[in-house]
Chains A and B, each alone.
Chain A
Amino acid sequence: MNYDWSVIWDFRSELASGVWTTIQLTFATMAVAIPGGLTIMLLRQSRFRLLSWFGTFFTEFFRNLPLILVIYWVFYILPTLMPNVDFPPFATGLVALALGVSAYNAETFRAGVNSIRKGQTEAAMALGMSRWQVMRKVVLPQAFRRILPMLASTWVSLFKDTSLVSVIAVADLTYTALEIRAKNYRILEMLTAMAVIYWCLGYPQAKFVDWMYRKIGVTE
């Protein structure tokens, strides 16, 4: 079997645009999922039964589902819910990933906030701070150190999970590489190139997460 690695160079602009889409999707999803996760966590801790029930349901449901299924589901349900709006695949992928990642983030935030002892909240309340002030001035600054490394791991998982949107034809790196493979039958070369590109992008991120855990992680 002879290999022809030059195809990778020939298709460099396509691959680069795939990489760009992957990166854009990762950033856009996180930008939605951080406020999303925060909202879900606050809902979950709400005093109103209905809201807290919804928050719990949302987190438990989406955390216990394969993302690929959520992507398919959103792909079919969005056009049914809003028949007048035309959703490009990128937006559909974004919504699906944001649903999943919001649930993960909500759990991360909750773990971070719950790790701060209750006595601190009670002490601050006794000093006359409002609930919101306690959250902002006492709990969140401490929880931040525990949340940040976990958020960074979620970021890496998200970066990898963006590859799944290729099933609904979002032109990310995976989709682009598979398309080129189908065109010129350079299967091994193209798939290896795809894996290597993902490695180059993901490896520094994984290392960065390790560094973050060492640097600011809290050991119990």
Chain B
Amino acid sequence: MEFDFSPLLMNWRFLGNGVIVTILLSIVSAVGATMLGGTIGLARAYGPRWVTVPLAFYVDTMRAIPVLVVLIWTYFAFPLVAGITLPHFAAASLALILHIAAYVSEIVRSGVGSVRPGQTRAGLALGMSKAQVVRKIVLPQAIVRVLPAYGSILSITIKDTAIATVIAVPEFMHQSETIASQSLRPMEVFTTAMVIYFLLLFPVTRGVDRIYRRVAHLGRS
């Protein structure tokens, strides 16, 4: 068996663009999902019943359906209902945000729930408003505590961007597939892709762990 890595070297710019799109898609999805998921998580923890019930349904739905199905539906079916055209990148980020926000909301909710209720009561007894209690007492501790779980969500986000290849977003997975089928060297191309994905993901998981170890004491109470 012989290996030929020249197709990779010849197309490094093409593949490099793919890496950049992957990183961009990851950032957009992670930021969007964090904002949406944070809002949903807080709304579920503190909102009235008519808010929490539909949100719980939404979150459980996203946990029950594969991200691939959400992605395909957003790209192919949603534009038919809404009567608009969605570009690849927008469809992919929308689907990933909708899907991952559900997971983010779950960890936000569990983080908020892990702060003892006595602290909330103490804050209220001191005359703080409910919003103040959440902002100044609950959230600072909750955010630190959920950091490890949040780190794994970040790595899931990066991994899930690879699925955007099925709707032809020109991210790294898709570019690798293109080169693999053009050069008839799938082994070399996909093995290299594995190494590059690993190099993208490993520092993220390790980095979050390291930050957590440094700030973990702030979450104790």
A interface, CB within 8 angstroms of B: 1, 60-61, 64-70, 72-73, 76-77, 80, 156, 160-164, 166-167, 174, 178, 181, 187-188, 191-192, 194-195, 198-199, 201-203, 205-207
Task: List 9 A-B residue pairs with CB atoms under 8 Å apart, sorted by A's residue number.
Answer: A64-B205, A69-B176, A72-B177, A73-B191, A160-B66, A164-B68, A198-B64, A199-B61, A206-B64
Number of residue pairs across A and B with beta carbons under 8 Å? 114
Chain B residues, CB < 8 A from A64: 155, 197-198, 201-202, 205
Q: Answer yes or no: B80 CB below 8 A from chain A CBs.
A: yes
Sorted nearest first, the 8 A-B pairs with minimum C-beta distance are A202-B64, A66-B162, A160-B66, A76-B186, A163-B66, A64-B201, A203-B64, A66-B159
B72, A207: Cβ atoms closer than 8 Å: no
B194, A65: Cβ atoms closer than 8 Å: yes
Query: Main secondary structure on chain B at its contact with chain A?
Result: helix
Chain A residues, CB < 8 A from B191: 73
Q: Report which residue of B77, B161, B176, B205 has the largest number of chain A beta carbons within 10 angstroms of its beta carbon.
A: B77
Chain B residues, CB < 8 A from A77: 187, 190
Q: Name the residue of chain A whose CB is nearest to the CB of B22.
A: A66
Chain A residues, CB < 8 A from B64: 156, 160, 198-199, 201-203, 205-206
- Shortest A50–chain B CB gap in Å is 21
A191, B187: Cβ atoms closer than 8 Å: no
Q: Report which residue of B60, B160, B176 has the largest number of chain A beta carbons within 10 angstroms of its beta carbon.
A: B60
- Measured in the bound complex, the distance between the Cα atoms of B202 and A68 in whole Å is 17
Chain B residues, CB < 8 A from A161: 66
A198, B69: Cβ atoms closer than 8 Å: yes
- Shortest B7–chain A CB gap in Å is 14
Q: Answer yes or no: B67 CB below 8 A from chain A CBs.
A: yes
Contact partner, A174, options B1, B66, B80, B197, Cβ 8 Å: B66
B165, A191: Cβ atoms closer than 8 Å: no
Chain B residues, CB < 8 A from A1: 80
Contact partner, B65, options A61, A80, A167, A199, Cβ 8 Å: A199
Q: Answer yes or no: B213 CB below 8 A from chain A CBs.
A: no
Q: Answer yes or no: B100 CB below 8 A from chain A CBs.
A: no
- Shortest B22–chain A CB gap in Å is 10
Q: Answer yes or no: B136 CB below 8 A from chain A CBs.
A: no
B72, A191: Cβ atoms closer than 8 Å: yes
Q: Answer yes or no: B193 CB below 8 A from chain A CBs.
A: yes
Q: Answer yes or no: B73 CB below 8 A from chain A CBs.
A: yes
A65, B159: Cβ atoms closer than 8 Å: yes
B159, A67: Cβ atoms closer than 8 Å: yes
B197, A66: Cβ atoms closer than 8 Å: yes
Chain A residues, CB < 8 A from B201: 64-65
Contact indicator per residue, chain B 195-221, by CB within 8 Å of chain A (1) or not (0): 001100110010000000000000000
Q: Name the residue of chain B whose CB is nearest to the CB of A192.
A: B77
- Shortest A18–chain B CB gap in Å is 12
Chain A residues, CB < 8 A from B12: none
A65, B63: Cβ atoms closer than 8 Å: no
B186, A191: Cβ atoms closer than 8 Å: no
- Measured in the bound complex, the distance between the Cα atoms of B139 and A101 in whole Å is 34
- Measured in the bound complex, the distance between the Cα atoms of B190 and A65 in whole Å is 12
Chain B residues, CB < 8 A from A207: 60
Contact indicator per residue, chain B 160-189, by CB within 8 Å of chain A (1) or not (0): 111101100000010011001000001100
